[in-house]
Amino acid sequence: MRVTRMSIPEVVLFEPTVHRDDRGYFLETYRRDRYAEAGVPHDFVQDNRSRSTKGVLRGLHAQRARPQGKLVQCVQGKIFDVAVDLRRGSPTFLRWVGATLTGDAANQLWVPPGFAHGFCVLSSTATVEYKCTAPYDPTDEMRIAWNDWKIGVQWPVRAPILSEKDRVAHGIDDWLDLLPWARAA
């Protein structure tokens, strides 16, 4: 497995070894000890799956009191996946990183607790699965505007298809006092 630290070093891109032959392919999608060695020592408590069509943008989402870490993979299709640092006091506060994830590459993005997450679909359809370190709590949810100018994500879609909740999401300024503080090293 190839492990690449992104420009925000807590966000990690994993490229598992895919064994291909004339029958198809095989890969390990998760093995706790190897991910722990790469800096992902979390226990996962919830798995999620979504299927979306081209142009759909989901995000930016985070939780306030019980932040979720997410190990995200696109199992079918192609997405642009984004992590935004929401940890006040962090040297990378409000910076974002993005990676293209595809079912064929079987790559994964680790989005740590304290980060917002979102993705947009680049293929005709995409199926996305992700493991979470905390259960989803709708009363703890933050929905941040996908096009917030202070964050400035460079999405590869101009007019995304949004859910109603994402369409009316607040800008980051409305959430600032509720954001978590970065932990001291």
Q: Which tokens is 10 given? A: 């807590």
Q: What pTM value is reported for the model? A: 0.95
Provide the domain count of the chain: 1
Question: Which residues span the domain enclosing 141?
Answer: 2-172
pLDDT confidence bin for 180, thresholds 50/70/90:
confident
Residue 185 lies in a domain: no
Which residue's structure tokens are 């949810």? 141
Q: What is the CATH number of the domain that holds 144?
A: 2.60.120.10
pLDDT of residue 182: 84
pLDDT confidence bin for 184, thresholds 50/70/90:
low
Q: What is the separation, in whole angstroms, between the first and last Cα of the chain?
A: 27
Catalytic amino acids? 61, 130
Do 168 and 145 form a contact (C-beta atoms < 8 A)? no
Residue 43 lies in a domain: yes
Residue 87 lies in a domain: yes
Which residue's structure tokens are 């996962």? 44
With a cut of 60, say whether residue 185 has pLDDT above it. no
**What gap in Å lies between CA 148 and CA 184, rounded to an integer?**
28
Q: Which tokens is 16 given? A: 């598992």
21-62 pLDDT, tens per residue?
A: 999 999 999 999 999 999 897 789 999 999 999 999 999 999
Do 54 and 124 form a contact (C-beta atoms < 8 A)? yes
Helix (H, G, I), strand (E, B) or coil at 52: strand
Residue 92 lies in a domain: yes
Do 57 and 159 form a contact (C-beta atoms < 8 A)? no
